[in-house]
C-alpha cells in the first residue's frame, strides 16, 4: 500500500506527514473504508460537515484546505484540495498515464464522435487502445458504464480506468474531457496528455462557469497542460489540435505553448477538407495536410459537422502520432454510429425518426441542418432545456428551431428543481420572437413521452422527426431524483403504439399522469 508521503509527493505542505499506509481514496463520507485517505472537498457539498462520520468509518487521515481542524486522525492542510486529490489518485494507481499515449478531446460539441473516430483509427493501426467518454469506458473487450449523466467522474475513477488499461496491455488512451472535469481537476490531469484536441467552444455551461471567458479558460487548461513536464515511458512530441473554423481558435492558439495544428475548412488551416460530398446516408471528402498529405475519406456518419470531427481525429492520429493514412481511412469507415448521436430508430414507419444528443444552440443548429438533408418533407423537432443550467440558451435554442424546423414540440429535459412550466414559457417566448406560432408551428407538451408521441402524430410519409437533447443518457432529473429514461426506448414505445405493434413500455416520469 502507498504511504501518505508517496500519495502527496510534490505538494507544498506546512507540516511533516505522519507515517501511514493508505488503502484507498474517498470523497464521500458514506463510502469511506478503513485506511482510506479522505479528501474534504467543499465544492457543492461541504464535506467538512461529515468528518465525524469519516473518523467513525476508520479513515486514516483527512486532506483539506481549512486550518486548525481538531480530529483524532491527522488533518493535512493543502492549498488546493482538488489538486491534491488529482495527484493522490494518479500516485495511488501508480501513475498509469506514464505508460500510455494520452489523447484528450474537449469542446462544447463533437467530443464523443471525435473521440470514437480517434479510437477506431488507433485500433485500425494496431494500437491496443482504451477510451473514456460520456457514454462509457472501453478497456480492451470490457465496456464499463460510467453513469456520467449524474456527475463528472472523480479523479480516482479515471485513474482506476487508466490502470486497468495498462494492466490489460493497452498502449493508447482517448479521454473525453468536460469543462467541469478540467476546472475541478477531475479525470486525468492536463499535464498527462500528449495530444489535446479542441472541437469548438460555444454557448454552454455558463451556469457552472458564470461567463463565457471562464468557460473558455476551463477548456484551455487542456492545451496549456501540454507544456508542463511529465515523464513518459514512450514520449511523443506534444501537439495541440485546434479548430481553425471556430471563434475560439485565435485565443486558444495563444494559450498553447507547444506545437499546434489548425484543422478545418479555413484557407489557413494546415489540415483541410476538399471536394466534400454530404449525402443523406454518408459523407465523402479529400484530406489535404502538411508535407503533401492527401487521401480520401468515406464515412457513414452523415452531416457536415462530421467533416470537422473526422479532421480533428486525423490530426490527432495521422499528423500527431504518425499513423498511416490507410488506418485513418479504415478507422473512420468502421464507425457506423455512436449511441444517441443521429441514431435512427426504424420500426417500419414511413417516415424517419432519429435520436440525437444535441443540447446546445450550436449542436441543435447542426442537427437540424443535417436533418434537412435527409428529407424533402417536414422536419419536426422535439427538445427541451435543462433546469439549473445555462438559462440564456433556452431562448436561443427555441429561436434556432423556429428558423430551421418546420414544427417544434417543446418539452421536459432535466428540469431539476426549476419549474418546468417556467422553462417552457421562456422557450416559447424565444420561438415567438422568431415568428413561431403556438398551436401551429410549435407546441408545449410538458411530458416528454407524450411530446414524442405528439410529434409522431404530426409526421407524414417522408417526414423527419428528431428527438433531441438526451441522446444516450439513461435518466432524467426532476427535483433531486433521477428517473429512468432513455429517448431511444421512449421513441420505440411511441412508434410501436402508433403502428399498433409490440414494443417497449413508455418510461414514466412525474409528468406522465
**Model pLDDT for residues 450-470, shown as the tens digit of each residue:** 999 999 999 999 999 999 999
pLDDT at 219: 93
Q: What local confidence, expressed as pLDDT, does residue 205 receive?
A: 55
Count CB neighbours of 463 within 10 A: 23
Distances (CA, A) of 315 to 13, 89, 147, 327, 447: 41, 30, 29, 13, 43
What number is the average pLDDT over the span 344-354? 96
Distance (Å, whole) CA 263 – CA 198: 10
pLDDT of 331 above 50: yes
For residue 153, count other CB atoms closer than 10 A to its CB.
Answer: 21
**pLDDT reported for residue 140:** 82
* Strand locations in 57-206 (E): 61-64, 75-77, 101-106, 129-132, 137-139, 142-144, 172-176, 195-198
Overall average pLDDT of the 99-105 stretch: 98
Nearest to 194 by CA among 212, 174, 214, 211: 174
Percent of all residues in the chain with a pLDDT value above 70, rounded to a whole number = 97
Please indicate, yes or no, if residue 443 is contained in any of the structural domains.
Answer: yes
Report the C-alpha gap between 89 and 387 in whole angstroms. 32
pLDDT higher than threshold 80 for residue 43: no
Q: How confident is the model at residue 12 (pLDDT cuts 50, 70, 90)?
A: confident
- Judged against a pLDDT cut of 90, whether residue 382 lies above it is answered with yes
Instruction: Give the position of cell 482506476.
Output: 160
Contact 185, 87 (CB under 8 A): no
Helices 325-334/111-124 angle, 10° precision = 120
Residues with Cβ < 8 Å from 399, sequence gap 6 or more? 430, 431, 433, 434
- The mean pLDDT value for 469-487 works out to 94
**pLDDT of the residue at 304:** 85
Same-domain pairing of 163 and 287: yes
Determine the pLDDT at residue 209: 65
Q: Are residues 455 and 473 in the same domain?
A: yes
Q: Is residue 486 part of a domain?
A: yes
Q: Does residue 113 sit within a domain?
A: yes
Mean pLDDT of 186-199: 94
Mean pLDDT value across residues 314-319: 98
Q: Which residues contact 306 (CB under 8 A, 6 or more apart)?
A: 113, 283, 299
Mark which of 285, 314, 334 sits at the end of a domain: 334
pLDDT score of 150: 44
> Model's pTM, two decimal places?
0.87
- Which letter does DSSP use for residue 49 in this model? G
Contacts of 70 (CB under 8 A, 6+ apart): none
Q: What is the mean pLDDT of residues 110-130?
A: 96
47 located within any domain: yes
Mean per-residue pLDDT for 390-405? 94
Contact 363, 109 (CB under 8 A): yes
How many DSSP H helices and E strands does the chain contain? 17, 23
Of 281, 309, 334, which marks where a domain is finished?
334
Residue-level pLDDT at 509 = 97
CA distance 475 to 484: 4
Residue 186: what pLDDT? 83
- Lowest model confidence (mean pLDDT) among 119-128, 201-210, 387-396: 201-210
| Confidence category of residue 208, pLDDT binned at 50, 70, 90 | low
Regarding whether 396 and 287 lie in a shared domain, the answer is no
* 327 and 349 both lie in a single domain: no
CATH number, domain of 15, equals 3.40.1390.10
Residue 38 pLDDT > 80: yes
pLDDT on residue 146: 63
Residue 251 · residue 216 · CB < 8 Å: yes
Residue 16 lies in a domain: yes
Per-residue pLDDT, 79: 93
pLDDT attached to residue 46 = 87
**Same domain, yes or no, for 87 and 99?**
no
Instruction: Give the structural domain span for 30.
Output: 4-91
What was the pLDDT predicted at 148?
A: 45
Amino acid at each position: 500500500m502507498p504511504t501518505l508521503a508517496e500519495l502527496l509527493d510534490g505538494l507544498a505542505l506546512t507540516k511533516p506527514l505522519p507515517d501511514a499506509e493508505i488503502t484507498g481514496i474517498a470523497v464521500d463520507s458514506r463510502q469511506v473504508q478503513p485506511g482510506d485517505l479522505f479528501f474534504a472537498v467543499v465544492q457543492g457539498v461541504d464535506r467538512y460537515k461529515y468528518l465525524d462520520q469519516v473518523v467513525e468509518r476508520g479513515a486514516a487521515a483527512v486532506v483539506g484546505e481549512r486550518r486548525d481542524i481538531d480530529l483524532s486522525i491527522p488533518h493535512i492542510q493543502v492549498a488546493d484540495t482538488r489538486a491534491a486529490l488529482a495527484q493522490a489518485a494518479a500516485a495511488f494507481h501508480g501513475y498509469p498515464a506514464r505508460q500510455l499515449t494520452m489523447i484528450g478531446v474537449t469542446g462544447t460539441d463533437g467530443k464523443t464522435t471525435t473521440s470514437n473516430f480517434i479510437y477506431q483509427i488507433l485500433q485500425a493501426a494496431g494500437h491496443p487502445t482504451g477510451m473514456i467518454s460520456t457514454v462509457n469506458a472501453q478497456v480492451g473487450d470490457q465496456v464499463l458504464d460510467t453513469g456520467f449523466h449524474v456527475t463528472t467522474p472523480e479523479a480516482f475513477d479515471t485513474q482506476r480506468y487508466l490502470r486497468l488499461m495498462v494492466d490489460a496491455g493497452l498502449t493508447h488512451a482517448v479521454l473525453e474531457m468536460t469543462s467541469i472535469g478540467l476546472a475541478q481537476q477531475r479525470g486525468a490531469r492536463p499535464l498527462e496528455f500528449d495530444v489535446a484536441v479542441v472541437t469548438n467552444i460555444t454557448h454552454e455551461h455558463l451556469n457552472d462557469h458564470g461567463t463565457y471567458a471562464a468557460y473558455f479558460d476551463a477548456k484551455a487548461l487542456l492545451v496549456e497542460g501540454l507544456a508542463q513536464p511529465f515523464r513518459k515511458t514512450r514520449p511523443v512530441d506534444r501537439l495541440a489540435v485546434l479548430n481553425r473554423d471556430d471563434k475560439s481558435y485565435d485565443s486558444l492558439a495563444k494559450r498553447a505553448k507547444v506545437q499546434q495544428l489548425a484543422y478545418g475548412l479555413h484557407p489557413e488551416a494546415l489540415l483541410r477538407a476538399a471536394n466534400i460530398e454530404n449525402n443523406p446516408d454518408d459523407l465523402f471528402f479529400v484530406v489535404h495536410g502538411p508535407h503533401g498529405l492527401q487521401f480520401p475519406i468515406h464515412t457513414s456518419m452523415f452531416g457536415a459537422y462530421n467533416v470537422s470531427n473526422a479532421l480533428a481525429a486525423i490530426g490527432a492520429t495521422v499528423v500527431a502520432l504518425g499513423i498511416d493514412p490507410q488506418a485513418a481511412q479504415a478507422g473512420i469507415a468502421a464507425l457506423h454510429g455512436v449511441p444517441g448521436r443521429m441514431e435512427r430508430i426504424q420500426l417500419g414507419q414511413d417516415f424517419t425518426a432519429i435520436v440525437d444528443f444535441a443540447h446546445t444552440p450550436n449542436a441543435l443548429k447542426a442537427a437540424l441542418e443535417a436533418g434537412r438533408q435527409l428529407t424533402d418533407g417536414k422536419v419536426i423537432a422535439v427538445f427541451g432545456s435543462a433546469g439549473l443550467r445555462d438559462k440564456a440558451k433556452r431562448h436561443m435554442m427555441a429561436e434556432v428551431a423556429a428558423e430551421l424546423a418546420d414544427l417544434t414540440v417543446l418539452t421536459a429535459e432535466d428540469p431539476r428543481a426549476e419549474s418546468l412550466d417556467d422553462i417552457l414559457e421562456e422557450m416559447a417566448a424565444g420561438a415567438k420572437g422568431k415568428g413561431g406560432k403556438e398551436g401551429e408551428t410549435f407546441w408545449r407538451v410538458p411530458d416528454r413521452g407524450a411530446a414524442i408521441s405528439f410529434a409522431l402524430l404530426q409526421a407524414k410519409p417522408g417526414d423527419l422527426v428528431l428527438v433531441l437533447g438526451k441522446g444516450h443518457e439513461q435518466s432524467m432529473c426532476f427535483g433531486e431524483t433521477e428517473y429512468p429514461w432513455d429517448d431511444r426506448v421512449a421513441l420505440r414505445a411511441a412508434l410501436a403504439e402508433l403502428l399498433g405493434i409490440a414494443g417497449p413500455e413508455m418510461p414514466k416520469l412525474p409528468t406522465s399522469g
